[in-house]
């Protein structure tokens, strides 16, 4: 299968225009070669727990005294 045939097949299957498929670059993967991914798998997932971050971020710069509901006369 030529590169042009691959591009046309991907464009047909995805509905993208041929120029977009050519720009992104596609190729046929060899099913025997399982080490084709350039990114290592031993890295921890790159996720952020925003609730955990906010717990440490929302700290008062100056401690404020607690307010009471007393009226001054």
Task: Please give the Cα distance from 46 to 6 (Å, whole number).
Answer: 32
Give the chain's mean pLDDT.
79
pLDDT of residue 12 exceeding 90: yes
Question: pTM for the whole thing?
Answer: 0.43
Q: How far apart are CA 60 and CA 58, in angstroms?
A: 7
pLDDT in the model for residue 16: 93
Domain ranges, ordered by start, for the chain? 1-31
Query: What is the chain's length?
Result: 73
Q: Cα–Cα distance between 50 and 62 in angstroms, integer?
A: 24
């Amino acid at each position: 299968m030529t590169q042009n045939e691959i591009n046309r097949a991907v464009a047909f299957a995805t509905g993208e225009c041929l120029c977009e498929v050519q720009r992104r670059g596609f190729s046929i993967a060899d099913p025997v070669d399982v080490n084709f991914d350039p990114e290592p798998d031993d890295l921890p997932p790159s996720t952020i727990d925003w609730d955990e971050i906010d717990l440490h971020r929302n700290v008062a710069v100056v401690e404020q005294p607690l307010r009471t509901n007393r009226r001054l006369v």
